Each structure stands twice: as C-alpha cells, then as structure tokens.
Amino acid sequence: MTDTEQKMLKKRHRAERRFRLYGIAAIALALLMLGSIFVSLIVMGHSAFRQTEVSLPIVFDADIIYGDGERNRQALYGADYQKLARKALRVVFPDVSKRRDKRKLNKLLSPGAEFELRDMVLADPAIIGQTLQVALPVSDDVDMYVKGQIDTNLAENERQLGDKQIGWIDTLTAKGLVELRFNIRFFTGGDSREPEMAGILGAVKGSFYTLLVCFGLAFPIGVLSSIYLEAFAPKNRITDFIEININNLAAVPSIVFGLLGLAVFLNFMGLPRSAPLVGGMVLALMTLPTIIIAARSALKAVPPSIFQAALGLGATRMQAVFHHVLPLAMPGIMTGAIIGLAQALGETAPLLMIGMIAFIVDIPASVVDPATTLPVQIFIWADSPERAFVAKTAAGILVLLAFLIIMNLSAVILRKKFERRW
C-alpha cells in the first residue's frame, strides 16, 4: 500500500470516528434533554400526590343536619355540613371571636370539606349524633404553606395567608392535627374549581371511552381496508390515488380532523357535544391512516410463498388471506394499532374543536355522557390562575406519560414475543 493510500485510509478512519462521536453526542444530548424534562415534571408535580388534611372533632348534630325539616334520607343531601366543620374549628380555637377572624379561620378548610362530611353521613347515617375525629382537606393555600411553597418572609399583603392564619396552622401542626397524606382524591375524583379537590378520574374514564370508540371504529376498518388494498384490489390509477391519499392523510395536522368532526358529526349529524362518542369518531379518522399503513406493512412482511402454498392446496383467495396470512401478520398489525392509539391518547387539538374542553365535574358513565380527556384536562389546569394547579398539571402530565410509556412498551413486547423472522 502506498503512502498516499495509507493517508487516505487514515483520513477515512478519522472521519468514521468523528461520525461515531457525533452520533454518541447526539444521543447523549437527547437523553439529557429528556431527563431534564422528566426531572422538572417530577420536581413540579410530586407534591400533587400528597394532600394536607386536618383532623377535627366533628359533632354530627342532628339538629344541624336535619334542621326544621323532616328527618329522612332526602334531608341529608341539603344539610349544612359546612356548619359542622366550622363548629369543630371553633372548638380548637375558642378564643377566635371577631367576625373577620372567624372568616379567616374558616378559610383554612377546603370548600370541599362539606362534601366529605355529606358523603360520610350518606354512607352511614348511624353516625348522626356521634362525635368523630375526621380528617378534612384544607384549602389550597394552606396545603402549599404546609408543603413549604409559600415564602413567609414576604410582607403579609404579598402572600396568600395572613400572619394569624399561619399562626393557627402552626398551632394545629403542633397539636398533631395536620398531616400530609397520599392524595387519593387525585385518582378518585373529578375536576373541580378547587385545586385541592381536583382529580383525574373523570378525564381518565373519558379517555378510556374515547379510545374504546376509536379502536372499535379504526381497527376493523383499517385492517379490512389494508387487506383489500394489499390482496384483492387491482393495481390501477384508482388504487394508486387511494394509496397516495392515505399517506397524505397520515401527515395532515390533527386540528383539521377536529374541524371535520365539528362540521359533520356535530353540526350536520347532531351528535352530542363534548361526548366520547364524537371524540372517538374524530380520533378514529385521524388514526385510520396509521393503522392502514402499519397493517399493509405487516401483510407485506409475510412471505408470498405462504399465500401461494394455500392457493395450491385448494384454498380460496379469501381463505388464504384470513386463515394463513392475516394470523401471521396480526402481531405487526396490533403493534401499529397500539402506536396509533397511543398517538390518539395524547391528542388535544381535535378534541378542543368538538367541545371536550368543557368543565365536567361528574364522572362519565357511558360514551354519550359529557366528558373530557386527560390531555384536555391538563390543558384546562395549565390555563387556571391558581398556583396550586401548577403541581396538578405536572402530575397529570406524569400520569399521561405513564400511560403512553405502557402502551408503547406493550407494543414493543407484543412485537418481540410474536414476531417471526423469515
């Protein structure tokens, strides 16, 4: 080898090493940025998984609960449970006598505390007349103070809690009545105007019903379309035009499908607004191209010899496809479907166009009930002015990422487990 050839070879080896280093640096940078996003979300959102509660001696006074009305179960729904909680605070702080101070003291408790007491009485009316130590949620400002998110060095008029309120909280803490507990309400409650009472169950169920409708429409239509295009459709200009449009639809912005759903499903067909039924139909339109493309790729991956052998043994064209080719291609088809559904789970723009941004407190029970989805719920919380919703937003994003990771991981496991190499 001449000197010139050796120099050229060394130069090429140096270029290969540089390229390898560039690739490693790019991967490291991507992992660093991804890690920083996860760390920032965990730092902001971890506090939402814990909730401050104060334990108070609640006297379930029958005269307050029933009032002057009849003593039946119907009267329990409209009772003044807020008065029970306030009387319990007066017992702990008997020296608070001024009306202004009483109002400040009452603000330590969450407005949702009365609903907690109502649910207790409705679940067991036998507690009426008893005195029980009950853990009640505090307001979002008190919760942030206990978690150390309020700077007490600021002037009193520059923070959410006054000096007297902070003193009362410290007194309750010294008595062992304040405790940070796992925030079960975040996973079992619906949306609320009060950050300390807001939960994701309504949004999770809305996402479930929406994806159920999406899968029920997109999967069979997508698979059957791919089978027809791949195994039965003649190769001509019409099928070429269809294939080009399917590939183009996969790159259309998602908000366009939302506009289509608004025009067709809501305005023309008159389907219920802000319902998972409409949301699932819109997301099915968006997911169809992804499923069709993935299903066609999976069908192409099956060796043609299997199809030809089935025909040679006397099977019809349909039997050869559905009895031999489709079962072998199903792992790849399911992988594409799961990835398409994961993409649909994270969509927000098309759902905003069909009204799923509405404030929904009740947990949906069917696909036609008003509902929202987890990404839209996160969008609503991010737009709320209360500081406590910042942690809720980050926690909601973590839950959504967990669902997306599980779905994508299941697609990878499914492909690895059932994949066949020819």
Asked if residue 209 is part of any domain, the answer here is yes
Asked if residue 191 is part of any domain, the answer here is no
Same-domain check for residues 295 and 394: yes
Same-domain check for residues 62 and 168: yes
Asked if residue 349 is part of any domain, the answer here is yes
Residues of the chain predicted below pLDDT 70: 1, 68-69, 419-422
Same-domain check for residues 305 and 390: yes
301-337 pLDDT tens trace: 888 888 899 888 888 889 999 998 998 898 889 888 9
Same-domain check for residues 372 and 241: yes
Same-domain check for residues 385 and 274: yes
Same-domain check for residues 138 and 283: no
Q: pLDDT at position 396, please? A: 94
The conformational region for residue 87 under phi > 0 = left, psi -120 to 50 = alpha, else beta, is alpha
Same-domain check for residues 325 and 412: yes
Q: pLDDT at position 21, please? A: 94
Q: pLDDT at position 1, please? A: 66
Asked if residue 189 is part of any domain, the answer here is no
Domain residues for the domain of 37 are 3-46
Asked if residue 192 is part of any domain, the answer here is no
Q: pLDDT at position 311, please? A: 87
Asked if residue 193 is part of any domain, the answer here is no
Q: pLDDT at position 421, please? A: 64
36-83 pLDDT tens trace: 999 999 999 999 999 999 999 999 988 888 876 677 778 788 888 899
User: Do residues 325 and 231 touch, judged by C-beta distance below 8 A?
Assistant: yes
Domain boundary among 148, 183, 218: 183
203-212 pLDDT tens trace: 999 999 999 9
Same-domain check for residues 80 and 153: yes
Q: pLDDT at position 24, please? A: 94
Domain count, the chain: 3
Same-domain check for residues 68 and 7: no
Q: pLDDT at position 2, please? A: 77
The CATH number covering residue 260 comes to 1.10.3720.10
Task: Look up residue 364 and give its DSSP letter.
Answer: P
